[in-house]
Amino acid sequence: MFPRLFFQLGLVLCLLWPIGGGVWAQTPAVAIVYPDVREPYRSVFMEIARGMEQELGKPVGHYLLSGRDNSAEKLINDLKNDRIDVVVTLGRAGLAVAKSVSAEFPVVIGATMIRPDEVQGLAGISLTPAPEAMFDHLKKLVPEVKKVTVIYDPRQTAWEIEHAERAARERSLTLVAQPTANLHDSSDLFRQILVEIKDNSIALWLPRENAAMDEQSLLPEVLREAWEKNFVVFSSNLDHVRKGALFSLYPDNFGMGRSLAGLAVQQLQAGGKFESVKLLQDLLVAVNLRTAEHLGLRFSSQTRREFAMVFPAP
């Protein structure tokens, strides 16, 4: 009797135990909530959904937020009727309903810029590239860099800079992070730094969400000085690479979908009480080859194959 009882108990545990790759024998019913948008934004959400389905091993439910009926109450009723277990919201429109939905379901936020203080009590993955990934690519592309300077608005990027300080120490980089409260002060700081930088042992990092950078007048000046003085500017904003920054990291939407699905399972297991906003680790690299050539950088064939996007476009 006892051997049979132990066998049956073991069989039950095996059925409930998570299988490799994040797929569960009892996979939860996961919904994604996102705005009804046109291309190319719709394709971004579809790629995230495909990544989630790859991780979960089953389809996810799609719930569109339209301008006609955007109420959280109707959404919650639809989710209940469809017996959804956990919800992943995408984009700013998804973020707008996340708090209301979290009163009834475990919720994970994705595909938007978020800070921990902005979504207290919720879990999610911000679109902000993780500084450790930025620094790893910096060291791979330009090993000579020993110091990284960043000017930032603490109202937007203080938590990102905290992560960056730890990541820099772990990689034997010196991070000089200078907060600024307004564009006038940041312009003075940038111009002071441009005078001080003499070679490519110092790199200038431009965060993605940064009110300290005037895109119209200051950015062209910074990139022009970097070109003339042969020092590295790298950015968390993809558009800056097209304009002349050496490289940027941008979202791998499929990989982000897989990570959101894994976080959704964690959130469900925690009963909706898992509070964690993570920086994005699922990233692709874009490189400005014209800038790299001007800096005298040479990349191996293997390194070049890692570039998901290059500028100028071939």
Cis omega (within 30 of 0) for bond into 312: yes
CA 160, CA 224: separation in Å to the nearest integer? 27
Q: How many CB atoms lie within 10 A of CB 62?
A: 12
Considering the domain architecture, whether residues 123 and 154 belong to the same structural domain is answered as no
Q: Do 68 and 176 fall within a single domain?
A: no
Whether residue 295 lies inside any domain: the answer is yes
Percent residues over pLDDT 70 in the chain: 91
Task: Check whether residue 71 and residue 204 sit in a common domain.
Answer: no
pLDDT confidence of residue 61: 98
What is the tens place of the pLDDT at every residue in 32-45? 999 999 999 999 99
Q: Which amino acid is at 210?
A: N
Q: Assess if residue 162 is contained within a domain.
A: yes
The reply to whether 18 falls in a domain is no
The candidate with the shortest Cα–Cα distance to 295, out of 239, 248, 234, 242, is 234
Is residue 269 domain-resident?
yes
226 Cβ neighbours under 8 A, 6+ residues apart: 204, 232, 233, 244, 245
pLDDT digits (tens, 9 = 90+) for 116-135: 988 988 999 999 999 999 99
Dist CA 31 CA 60 (whole Å): 5
Instruction: Phi first, then psi: give them for residue 144, nearest 5 degrees.
Output: -70, -20
The domain total for the chain is 2
Phi, psi of 153 (to 5 degrees): -95, 110
Identify whether residues 30 and 74 lie together within a single domain. yes
Strand 202-206 relative to strand 147-152, pairing: parallel
Per residue in 50-68, pLDDT (tens digit) is 999 999 999 999 999 987 6
Check whether residue 63 and residue 197 sit in a common domain. no
What's the pLDDT at 221? 96
Both 78 and 188 in one domain: the answer is no
pLDDT value, residue 272: 84
Does any domain span residue 16? no
Residues 87 and 68 in one domain: yes
Peptide bond into 207 cis (omega under 30): no
- pLDDT of 6 > 70? The answer is no
Instruction: Write b or e for each residue in 93-131: b if 16 or more Cβ atoms lie within 10 A of its Cβ, otherwise e.
Output: bbbebbbebbebbbbbbbbbebbeeebeebbbbbbbbbb
> In this structure, what CATH number is given to the domain that contains residue 49?
3.40.50.2300
What is the model's pLDDT at position 273? 85
Domain assignment present for residue 31? The answer is yes
Residue 232's domain comprises 131-250+284-311
> Are 82 and 186 in the same domain?
no
- Alpha-carbon torsion (97, 98, 102, 108), positive or negative: positive
Residues 72 and 162 in one domain: no
- DSSP class of residue 201? T
CA angle 214, 215, 217 (to 5 degrees): 70
Beta carbons of 152 and 161 less than 8 angstroms apart: yes
Q: Record the pTM.
A: 0.89
Q: Would residue 185 count as lying in a domain?
A: yes
Question: CA angle, 152 as apex, 151 and 158 as ends, to 5°?
Answer: 135
pLDDT reading at 20 higher than 60: no
Number of other CB atoms surrounding residue 237 within 10 Å: 21
**262-295: b (≥16 Cβ within 10 Å) or e:** bbbbebbeeebebeebbbbebbbbbbbbebbeeb
Whether residue 179 lies inside any domain: the answer is yes
